[in-house]
Homo-oligomer: A and B are copies of this chain.
Amino acid sequence: MLADLVPLNQSVIDALIEMVFSVDYPKGVLLAEQGKPCRYIYFIEKGVMRGFYHRGEKDITTWFAYEQDVVTSMSSFVTQHPAVENIEVLESASVKGISYDHLQELYRRFPEFNIVGRLLSERYYVELEERTLSLQNLSARERYIKLLNEQPHILQKVSLGHIASYLGMSQETLSRIRRNR
């Protein structure tokens, strides 16, 4: 997994293996909760997850993640402030995880390991910017069509309500958009 990203020497890899844990989570589990600092970052070996936050009665999905993705409640994880974002298991999952503290220890003991953190947060940034630009510049219909083109598999696995909130529109609007095409 990581070896593809960055060449790391054996002592780093050994330390990493020491720290990483494996867990399975059933559908419905929350891996991060709004209000609590997010203490872990996960690599999804199997399963589907989403990030979301509450707004009044509704909840708003901010991303979906699948096998081979790295997930955490990013802002909270890097600042260790209370999270705004929850992480929910949508399809039961097997993950590798590492705690914030262990990760900081890796950064400290093996400065070159910071390259991993840098690449990861750069990627997170690029993705968030992409999504933000869509939300701000495209109409509801254009956002839907974009999703259809770029991540059609999402539509298979996930309920309309979640997708609508991810696309920044009401479920009714999404339903109407789908009708007319």
A84 — which chain B residues lie within 8 A by C-beta? 133
A67 — which chain B residues lie within 8 A by C-beta? none
Is A78 within 8 A of B128, CB to CB? Answer: no
Q: Which residues from chain A sit less than 8 Å from chain B, CB to CB?
A: 53, 55, 60, 74-75, 78-79, 84, 107, 111-112, 114-115, 117-118, 121-122, 124-126, 128-133, 135-137, 168
A136 — which chain B residues lie within 8 A by C-beta? 60, 135, 168
* In the complex, the 8 A-B pairs of residues with the closest C-beta atoms, listed nearest first: A111-B112, A114-B114, A118-B118, A117-B118, A114-B115, A121-B121, A78-B122, A132-B132
Is A126 within 8 A of B78, CB to CB? Answer: yes
Q: Which residue of chain B is the closest to A130 with respect to CB atoms?
A: B75
Is B129 within 8 A of A129, CB to CB? Answer: no
Nearest CB in chain B: distance from A98 CB, A? 15
Residue of A107, A114, A133 with most chain B CB atoms under a 10 A cut-off: A114
